[in-house]
Amino acid sequence: MTRRSCAIYTVGAICALLLVTGIALMVAQVFPSIMHKRLKKEIVLVEGSRVFDSWKTPPPPVFMEYFFFNVTNVDELLKGAKPVVNQVGPYTYREYRYKDNVTMVENGTKVLAYNTRSFVFLRDKSVGDPAVDAITTVNIPHWAAMNKMQGFPKSFMLSMMISASKSTLFTTRTVHELLWGYHDALLDRISRSKPEVEKVFGLMYKKNGSHNGEFVFHTGEQNYLDYGRIETWNGERQLTYWSTNISNIITGSDGSAFHPLLNRSERIYVFSPDLCRTIYMEFEKDVKVKGIPAYRFTPPRSVFASKQENPANEGFCVTPQECLGTGVLKVSPCRNGAPVVASFPHFYLAEDKYISAIEGMSPQRSHHQTFLDLNPTTGVIVRANKRAQVNVLIKKISGYPDTKALNETIFPVMFLNESVEIDDASAAKVNKLLMIVNVGSNFPLIIMGLGGIMLLVFIILLVRAHQQKKEAKRIVFTKAVYATSTEDDTSYTPVSSKEKDDGQNGNYIGLTAKLEQ
């Protein structure tokens, strides 16, 4: 092989590599776009899509844990002492969720549904029997009534009802009664003159087997960023509980679906009917669940911050004069005026004054933080913990002598932990989908890698061919040297014409000696 041939082959190999690289770069521009379009088409809330059935009936088990705060010093508390509580729980229930009355609307661009939930008690995951275990806590119906009926003669009339019903500021009830409802004597008295007042009270009363309102969601067919986004709740695009538009806005997801192709810099919004508002979450860190990569999103401190710390929260003040500090939210506007206050468990992310006011509070991020772990490619929830605490604002109320010694305190009643983790079968499906997407995204690199390997193989073969050519030349040269060194004694002559023309063995050359003349 001549130097010119080697140069030609080398140039050809380089051109081939450049061609392969060019094709790879072209594919790099086009292929991810194709994969993303395919992904956006698959992740839509329409019949037959990859996610529709799991959105209607989520396969992973959801668990609801309830923890109660048992008061141990009621007599001292009524005299002005700091409340002392101890945490009791969990009382765990399997939560069954499904979308009911699912109906496509507006040519399939939106879908109407009701979020229905039911609960089944799990004894093996609980500390005791909710029908037996008793908790001493603040009497919420009693405090709600006093807050509603202030000023003479309302306070006088209610005081008469309180005396007749033997209702007290604190009550002892079983866990089952506190959760699912009990017949309250004071409410019974009030309902005689106000039939609209419910006689039964429970923190989860009427929530077993019921829904939390009519939702209309975007399917994501028109824009993948709208996948699962709420259009209306109970026919409304805004709430009416708060004093500003930004506080009343209904936006984001209901917490069951998030758009694909998430990025770390975005905020995700979740509307919660229980909190009577929309909250937002921000990226915290990368995690992995059952081999699935995920972004962890959590509510920052600013969500429940005071109006001084976060001016955007000014609209959540019940009145300009009645505005709580960081870490708590008074939800009485959507609780019929009851002095109910929401927070994270143990006042996590709240001001120290709320934590120190109750003996027995110990906020810890690992136990009390709310978070969502979302796979960024698909938007699928791989793990989540929703944690919230129900509190009651207790204080001195004019016209009710039993409250005269009380300090104003946000009193913890109960907190819940609603948790879910993707099941093995669903995790396998997500991992398979991610593998397909990853292979597609890395396809240009694979092409370039194969092109590089082919070039390397070509160069190796070229070098070997060159070496073999040199070796052949060396052998011929050596034979020639030996042949000419005895030119006076020997010479190469054909033995016969038959041997010269032998078709099977080729040309034979005989070595004969010349006789000296």
Same domain, 356 and 445: no
Question: What is the mean pLDDT of the segment spanning 409-425?
Answer: 96
Asked, for residue 317, whether it belongs to a domain, the answer is yes
The answer to the question of residue 507 being in a domain is no
% of residues, the chain, pLDDT over 90: 68
List the structure tokens of 431. 């991992």
Domain-embedded: residue 501: no
CB 264 within 8 A of CB 289: no
**What pLDDT sits at residue 467?**
73
Q: Please answer whether residues 339 and 144 qualify as being in contact, where contact means their C-beta atoms are separated by less than 8 angstroms.
A: yes
- 33 and 68 share a domain? no
User: Nearest 10 degrees: CA dihedral of 472, 473, 475, 477?
Assistant: 170
Is residue 496 very low, low, confident or very high in pLDDT (cuts 50, 70, 90)?
very low
pLDDT > 70 fraction of the chain, expressed in percent and rounded: 77
Q: How much is the pLDDT for 460?
A: 73
Long-range Cβ pairs for the range 304-308 (8 Å, 24+): 304/328, 304/329, 304/343, 304/344, 304/349, 304/350, 306/351
Structural domains of the chain, count: 2
Judge if 369 and 454 occupy the same domain.
no
Task: Provide the CB-side half-sphere exposure for 280 (13 A, CA).
Answer: 17
pLDDT in tens, 84-141: 999 999 999 999 999 999 999 998 899 999 999 999 999 999 999 999 999 999 999 9
Mean pLDDT, rounded, of the chain = 85
| Residues 289, 224 share a domain | yes
The verdict on 17 and 116 lying in the same domain is no
pLDDT digits (tens, 9 = 90+) for 188-230: 999 999 999 999 999 999 999 999 999 999 999 889 899 999 9
Asked if residue 151 belongs to a domain, the reply is yes
Please say if the pLDDT value at position 475 is more than 90.
no
Q: How far apart are CA 439 and CA 377, in angstroms?
A: 13
At 40 the pLDDT is: 65
Q: How far is Cα 321 from Cα 314, in angstroms, rounded to an integer?
A: 11
Domain check: are 283 and 188 in the same one? yes
pLDDT tens-digit map of 166-179: 999 999 999 999 99
Q: How far apart are CA 179 and CA 421, in angstroms?
A: 25
Backbone φ and ψ of 378, nearest 5°: -100, -20
Enclosing domain of residue 317: 60-422
Q: Which of 404, 422, 440 is the last residue of a domain?
A: 422
**pLDDT for the residue 218:** 96
Do 341 and 280 fall into the same domain? yes
Write out pLDDT tens, residues 31-40. 445 555 666 6
Residue 271: φ, ψ to 5°: -90, 130
Using pLDDT thresholds of 50, 70 and 90, give the confidence band for residue 513.
very low
Of 422, 449, 470, which residue constitutes the final position of a domain?
Answer: 422
pLDDT at 361: 98
Is 483 a member of any domain?
no
Mean pLDDT over 260-267 rounds to: 95
Comparison of pLDDT for 383 and 50, the residue scoring more: 383
pLDDT, residue 331, reads 94
Q: What is the pLDDT of residues 435-470, one digit of tens each?
A: 877 664 544 555 555 556 665 666 676 667 667 766
Read off the pLDDT of residues 313-340 as tens digits, 9 standing for 90 and up. Answer: 999 998 877 889 999 999 999 988 899 9
Mean per-residue pLDDT, 65-91: 97
Look at residues 460, 481, 506 and tell me which one is the last residue of a structural domain.
460
Mean pLDDT to the nearest integer, 36-50: 75
Question: How far is residue 433's CA from residue 87's CA, in Å, rounded to a whole number?
Answer: 43
Is residue 436 located within the same domain as residue 368? Answer: no
User: Does residue 409 form part of some domain?
Assistant: yes
- Between residues 83 and 506, the one the model is more confident about: 83
Task: Classify burial at 435, counting beta carbons within 10 Å of its beta carbon; exposed 0-12, middle 13-18, buried 19 or more.
Answer: exposed
Same domain, yes or no: 289 and 373:
yes
pLDDT of residue 350: 98
In this predicted model, what pLDDT tens digit does every residue of 271-316 receive, in sequence order? 999 999 999 999 999 999 999 999 999 999 999 999 999 999 999 9
- Give the pLDDT mean for 404-419: 96
Nearest to 291 by CA among 418, 419, 420, 435: 435
